Structure 1
Amino acid sequence: MPSSPTDRPTTPSTVWAARGRHVGPDADDVLRHHLRRLKDEDTLDDFQELPAAEDSPERILEARWRVPGEVTVRARLTLVPAGDDGSEWTLVAEAEQPWDQSWPSPATLFWPDTPDAAWDHEAVTGLPFRDLTPLPSEDKAIRRLFKEAVRGWAVHVVVHEAMTTDDRGRRPLTRWLPPGLRHRVVEHRAAPDQLRVVNWALRSLGVEVPRGGAVVLPGHPVPPGYDGGDFAVRSVFLDGSEPTELIETVTRYAVLPKPLPDGADEALTALREQWQLLTPEEELARERALVAMYADALAAMTRSRDLYREAAERANEALAAYREAVPGPAAEGPAGAPAGSPFQQLTRTFERLKGSTRTLRPTRAEDDDQDPPDTPGHEVG
């Protein structure tokens, strides 16, 4: 079993995340058109496209909607050109309570949910989400495919056909999955004569697929508590009926607490810390927080000013007392000054001033705390 790094944060139960590839042109136009239509239909509460940076080709869109129970979901999609007239997209959504897989897929709130969708491909392998894909015929290609598959964000399932199936057995399992999983699962099909080669390729992952059964592959890093035997199904009847045990196994793996995959931590942080699609109430609360922050800063500056003024007055008083007590240039220096002399009083006064001014210097963290956050972006009409 591959080792699992322990220094990665665990995916929060409130988060839904996926990465994919749009294989056609004009992906940003497809997004804008679909989002605008859903807002007009009141499916979305609101959406906006953030202003693009001059030196970056990526496009960022935010959307907000509510799922049953009036639970608010906030989602952020990043679109980046990937060459060959295609684009890669990263979508992270977070709800106000733990994610329910029966809720609508966030992917279909950004992309049109059509059978011939150009966006519905896994980012690493390029394979479709809602269809099954036969494994390559070459042994090394199968092994290479599995190594790439487990490093992505999707859930990969390998199904072995015990015998050649008809059209009923060629129906993808994703049609039985709950909506929240249909755009996160990739199904690989192994032909009857590929069982030995497939298990040879899976050996490095510490799992194997039973004859006529299926197995859910571990991700990277491997989720704590994952055991290949617990996520293998011994028999899958490919007769067109619902594979209940397999669907339950895939769903159980999907909700298993697991480390955030590569890049997901940054995407989630951006969603939480750079969110700009605020409601009027959130906008008002933020402005009030800014006013309170500026008021605290002004009060601190006023206190500092008063303390500096008091220190300066003490210094002037001490200097005046010293000049009155030692008027001439032949005044005795500090080494010969008698105890309790005006000179010693002046020295002690300046030492006190030195200590007090150190406490008045603002730290860099306090300066940083006074920087106002970015202003929100504007919605694309």
Structure 2
Amino acid sequence: MAKNSTSSTTVPDTAWLARGRHLGPEPELDVRRNLIALKAAGVLDDFADLEPAEAARSTVLHPRDESADPGPSARRVFEARWRPADDVTVRAQLTTYEPKARRKQGEGVTWVLAAEADRRWDPHWPSPATMFWPDSDQVTWDHDTVPDVRLRTTNHLPKDDDELRHRLRECTRQSWCIHVVVHEAMTPDTKGQQPVSAFLPPSLRHQVIEHRATPEQAQIADVALKRELGLRIPRGGGVVLPTAPQGPDYDAERFTVRSVFLDGSEPTELLDRIKEFAALPRPLPADAEQALNQLRHGWHLLTPDEELAHAQGMVTKYAEALAAMTNSRDLYREAAEAAQAALAEASSGDGVPRPAAPGQGKPDVSPLSALTKAFGRFRDPNK
């Protein structure tokens, strides 16, 4: 799989970005049903369901911008607006895409979600993912773009050394999520098998993927992490993986936890490290930058105040265009009148140029120079 390129900018602190795959048969229907239910319950202010061509053609708030085009592989564009707090509005777009290449049957539909708030994002706000996708284990929207990796559950690392290293490499280079590896000191009971991400704030919960190494994988996981990322994982401990390329603020020792108790209790130290890592500046992947531009420059779901402001802006633009057309018409009319006067002057008033009389000197003004002089007055706005 191709490596994701990144831009020189970092993820804005007002934005929430995610990308994944839906493995079910009707992803757009799942989104539509959830949006309708949440609007009826008063959770959403409003939502829109757009064809990709319509989304690209009818950009409202901004001039036409290529970055606002969802692209030829887009299947559907959904917009939603809600207020996580009284003074904050969140605008979000979810776009579903056909996968670029299906390596195996049932790879599913790729989706990209970009949300942005009026101020710095609060992890305790509701997750934008559950505004579009049902928060149900029966709807398989939560698969990462890295194969065989899923949100909202624990993902056991491959037992083969090469596959394990390949998994770690793909997760750090391609995924938009935060990845955590936890080693099970002993096989946990039912409570311990629950993902630690369940203890995270709502908005952060759907940005963290947890990998588990079984008790027998202590050495193989440690060696793979050291070779691929230069990290070590203690027995019974955990580590938050860096992004690739690794940021300057990442400290491997800082984001390594010596012991994680998998008994159903809250692993406070590991959760604190995850929250700390999430607050660091992270590179903005090129695909994420495109999704954010699409949200900012291709937004359609207007509030009444925005609709009024948009209408007033259009009236002003039309008035300016009409004034410019009127001014151009007047200038053309004046130029035509001046040309006719110059031509009449050059042809002695009957439209036929007169040659100079024999022996008479060269006329002071030729017809061409008279026209040039007349039009010259219109080149200089001060005349």
Same fold (TM over 0.5): yes
Residues 321/224 of structure 1: CA separation in 2 closer, same or farther (3 Å cut): farther
Q: Secondary structure at the match of 1:324?
A: coil
What SS is found at the alignment partner of 1:260?
Answer: strand
Aligned position for 1:378: none
What corresponds to 1:99 in structure 2?
121
Equivalent position to 1:209, from 208, 233, 241 = 233
1:112 partner amino acid: P
The alignment status of 1:73 with 2:73, answered yes or no, reads no
Pair 1:141 & 2:163 matched: yes
The CA distance in 2 between the partners of 1:223 and 1:315, in whole Å, is 70
Letter in 1 for 2:198: R
Does the aligned pair in 1 maintain the 2:348–2:354 contact within 8 Å?
no
State the distance in 2 between where 1:81 and 1:7 align: 24
Q: Aligned letter for 1:188?
A: H
Which of 131, 137, 158 is equivalent to 1:115?
A: 137
1:7/1:329 CA distance change after superposition, 3 Å = farther
Query: For residue 251 of structure 1, what is the aligned residue in structure 2?
Result: 275
User: Does the 8 Å CA contact 1:213/1:234 hold for their aligned counterparts?
Assistant: yes
Name which of structure 1's ranges 275-284 and 136-145 shifts more when overlaid on structure 2. 275-284
Q: What is the TM-score with the length of structure 1 in the denominator?
A: 0.82
- CA displacement at 1:109 relative to structure 2: 1.2
2:66 corresponding residue in structure 1 = none
Q: In the aligned structure 1, how far is the partner of 2:292 from the partner of 2:248?
A: 21
- The residue type equivalent to 2:31 in the other structure is L
Moved more, 208-217 or 129-138: 208-217
- Aligned ranges 1:10-29 → 2 under 5 Å: 10-29=10-29
Listed as ranges, the gaps of 5+ residues in structure 1 are 358-381
Distance 1:22 1:338, change over 3 A: same
Distance 1:300 1:124 in 2: 55
- Are 2:198 and 1:198 equivalent residues in the alignment? no
Instruction: Report what 2:81 is aligned to.
Output: 64
**Alignment partner of 1:277: what SS?**
coil
Measure, in 2, the Cα distance between the counterparts of 1:328 and 1:17: 79
- How far is 1:147 from its partner? 1.4
Is the CA contact (8 Å cut-off) linking 1:220 and 1:261 kept in structure 2? no
Correspondent of 2:372 among 347, 355, 362: 347
Amino acid at match of 1:92: A
Deviation readout 1:225-279 (Å, 9 max, x if unpaired): 2333332223322333211111111111112222212411111111111111112
Question: The residue matched to 2:127 in structure 1 has which SS?
Answer: coil
Q: 1:322 and 1:201, CA in 2 relative to 1: closer, same or farther beyond 3 A?
A: farther
Which residue identity is paired with 1:36? I
CA RMSD in angstroms comes to 2.9
- The one-letter code of the counterpart of 1:249 is R
In the TM superposition, what is the alpha-carbon distance from 1:221 to its structure 2 partner? Answer: 4.4
Give, as a single letter, the amino acid of the residue that structure 2 aligns with 1:170.
Q
- How many angstroms does 1:316 deviate by? 2.6
Three-state SS of the structure 1 residue aligned to 2:331 is helix
Q: Which has the higher contact order (CA 8 A, sep 6+)?
A: 2
**Alignment-derived partner of residue 155 in structure 1:** 178
The 2-side partners of 1:316 and 1:221 are apart by: 72
Correspondence for 2:257: 233
**Displacement of 1:101:** 0.4
CA change 1:331–1:126 in 2 (3 A) is farther
Give 1:345 shift: 4.9
C-alpha deviation, 1:343, in angstroms: 6.0
Matches for 1:1-381 after TM superposition, within 5 Å? 7-51=7-51, 53=53, 58-82=75-99, 84-85=105-106, 86-150=108-172, 151-202=174-225, 203-324=227-348, 327-329=353-355, 344-351=369-376, 353=378, 355=379
User: How far apart are residue 293 of structure 1 and its match?
Assistant: 0.8
Label 1:282 to 1:331 Cα distance change in 2 as closer, same or farther (>3 A).
farther
Assess, with a 3 A threshold, how the Cα gap between structure 1 residues 93 and 344 changes in structure 2: closer, same or farther: same
- Aligned residue for 1:315, secondary structure, equals helix
1:348 deviates by: 3.6
% identical aligned pairs: 51
Judge conservation of contact 1:315–1:350 (CA < 8 Å) in 2: yes
Distance in 2 between residues matched to 1:101 and 1:263, nearest whole Å: 23
**Mapped partners of 2:28, 2:366: distance in 1:** 81
> Residue 143 of structure 1: CA displacement?
0.9
* Paired letter, 1:216: V
2:343 and 2:367 in contact (8 A); partners too: no
Instruction: Give 1:129 shift.
Output: 0.9
Counterpart of 1:200, as a letter, is V
The number of equivalent residue pairs is 350
Secondary structure, in 3 states, of the residue corresponding to 2:209? strand
Aligned twin of 1:377: none
Q: For 1:221 and 1:299, locate their aligned partners in 2 and report how far apart those are by CA, in whole Å.
A: 54
Distance (Å, rounded) in 2 between the aligned partners of 1:153 and 1:107: 14
Cα deviation, 1:79-128, whole Å, max 9, x if unaligned, reads 23446453222111111111100011111111211233311222223422
Residues 23, 119 of structure 1: 8 Å contact kept = yes
C-alpha contact (below 8 Å) 1:125/1:149 kept by paired residues:
no
Distance 2:369 2:90 in 1: 69
